[in-house]
Structure 1
């Protein structure tokens, strides 16, 4: 599996290989954010409630970046926007450790969240510009692989540095961000977006492949309703997959009374599954249509989270994790591929909004988990998440029958 994955990454077009390694360096540098709350409590002079509110500001800044990215990508090359995010992020990371007091820290964290997240819609735009429609599912799976590899390594490195010197975590993070910027700059493709890579609909938008003035607001009504249908049906999925990062530890240790190492095993199983199987599986599924891909992913995700609600032993948690990890491997590259192709010339605008849904889920999920979990019913958040995903799957089946809610795909003739 690893050999097949490496061959797939090595076989990507040069711009996508550059994006892969830039993303890998950038996400490996994500070592300061997991330790932001401890820093605020120990060195920032904030109490627990104020620190939590300040950390939430990171998500608000990220959401603002997603809302602004569509307009920015109409004027800037994706690489230019990524470079801007890198440089702003590195500057903020150097400043945040020396800030004190709520107003200064809140402003710094908000700008940090904006700089961090603006890279994501720009990377989506670069992926779309660098891949033909038939190759896009695999291209997105490679991009997700870079994210997951980096995010697996970053917090581990951050934990080691935080134990030595809390301030060093922020400085090391800034250096990694600058390294990502340097790598992207040294291999930057100066060519504009190629609309031919997006498909016939995008070619009408002009040589840069950007949306017409006004972005998604001037799309024909059927195209807008198809996007918002996909966006709405993705929200239960985004909320469900935001749960593990914020709720697994509480569920395993407090809810089930199991040893804490089972939470670590859950995260390890999920990470290994993605790293080993996501790219090879999506290579095999490159010619599978949108509907069967999404239905398979939604079904596995719904079943996996319902099994999490029923699990009361360590092996049961592992089995459930394998199921929802399989759903994640299938559904997210499929969703990104589907949304990018249904959007035509408004792809940059719509992908930015879609990325905003991810951040909305990460802001909302901790609050939902807190309110839904209760003594005697610790698995309720998982059950609600699984039921919501299953309901979205049924709505997806209904949506496919109307041209205002479903994008009919063009035949797939090639793959990476």
Structure 2
């Protein structure tokens, strides 16, 4: 029984090209080293002694930089190719992370975070386009899921290791680790994966199609982006308000908080690929799966209203984790399938920009609500946003039915 179950799990990972596995490997290395992000709000608040409002504004700069980087990454991927963008982005952002530890004033941090995120987030749309190039069409959703698993496996290790590094070496050591892993990951990519050239006739065809079609006229895609924006606002609470809540309301250490966040990555590693494979075998509508993910995310924040017991943090995390597993792999796939030939970079740029905009809104909105009222008010607002996303998914289903 155990052996057959293990074999079925392994079968979910078959059929990928070598390049897809290498992309997953460098993503894991990079994400395991990205230990700064889960503790960034705590670092700014507790180590640099900035106010809630200042932390919120730095996160806003972080998000605006991410938005601009995503747009540039997608546009340049369509023009000069994803390969050059990926190498430039990770190598340069790795070097910049080394210098970030020496920036301590409020305005300098705003400028530094904006600059780093412009460069770092050029990587994301380029990476999505690379998957559409290296993965077989029938494997693209699973390939996206494989890369997400690499992200979450890295995320399972990163926060716990980050918490230990903070306790033993201080926050500065995190910046050295983060920068080093960016550089190591992209050097491996450059050595192991060669650039895939696009034939000249295909480039000409893409340019002709680009003149005829525009992403800005795709109403369904824009409503879908709004759903992505809301779900990302909810998800980013894991990195902004929840670590502070762990500490201030329940007195958890960085290591304990990191262990709870690591539980999210472990669950995703073991369960997401089987869930995706099952949904694909059963031919379940992507939007239906996303809708139920929105329901689960909404519930996860309403659960936090019951705050008398620290165990509620784990119960809430279970709901948000399953919501994440239902939403993110299928939203990636939906966005990619919606893009016409020659527009992949632009579509994936807007898709990643919705997450960047969410990072701006999530951190600023959450911290301002907490500052003006309390954590409970923030959890209620976030849960209610999840309900709005559910209603938008129902609207999208009806629009898609009319389109067919």
Give unmatched runs, 5+ long, in structure 1. 195-204, 409-416
1:332 Cα offset (Å): 0.8
Counterpart for residue 171 of structure 1: 176
* CA pair 165-325 structure 1, distance change in 2 beyond 3 A: closer
1:327 Cα offset (Å): 1.4
* CA pair 158-374 structure 1, distance change in 2 beyond 3 A: closer
Counterpart for residue 192 of structure 2: 187
Counterpart for residue 94 of structure 2: 90
Q: TM-score, normalised by structure 1?
A: 0.80
Which of 274, 279, 283 aligns to 2:273? It is: 279
Q: C-alpha deviations, 1:151-200, integer Å up to 9, x for none?
A: 33234444444533654433332221121111101121332369xxxxxx
1:296 Cα offset (Å): 2.4
User: Contact 1:296–1:327 (CA<8 Å) still a contact in 2?
Assistant: yes
Q: Greater share of helix residues, 1 or 2?
A: 2
Counterpart for residue 123 of structure 2: 119
Give the distance between the partners of 2:50 and 2:316, measured in 1 at CA: 37
Counterpart for residue 289 of structure 1: 285
Are residue 342 (structure 1) and residue 347 (structure 2) matched? Answer: no
User: Contact 1:15–1:189 (CA<8 Å) still a contact in 2?
Assistant: no
Give the distance between the partners of 1:329 and 1:357, measured in 2 at CA: 18
Give the distance between the partners of 1:40 and 1:242, measured in 2 at CA: 17
Identify the structure with bigger relative contact order (alpha carbons < 8 Å, sequence gap 6+). Answer: 2
User: Contact 1:342–1:407 (CA<8 Å) still a contact in 2?
Assistant: no
Give the distance between the partners of 1:118 and 1:334, measured in 2 at CA: 22
Which of 61, 65, 88 aligns to 1:61? It is: 65
1:47 Cα offset (Å): 5.3
* CA pair 324-311 structure 1, distance change in 2 beyond 3 A: farther
Give the distance between the partners of 1:104 and 1:386, measured in 2 at CA: 34
Q: Number of residues paired by the alignment? A: 393
Are residue 25 (structure 1) and residue 29 (structure 2) matched? Answer: yes
Q: CA RMSD in A?
A: 3.6
User: Contact 2:60–2:359 (CA<8 Å) still a contact in 1?
Assistant: no
**Structure 1 segment 214-363 matched on structure 2, within 5 A:** 219=213, 224-252=218-246, 254=248, 257-258=249-250, 260=252, 266-286=260-280, 287-310=283-306, 312-345=308-341, 346-363=343-360
Counterpart for residue 413 of structure 1: none
Q: TM-score, normalised by structure 2?
A: 0.83
User: Contact 1:252–1:260 (CA<8 Å) still a contact in 2?
Assistant: yes
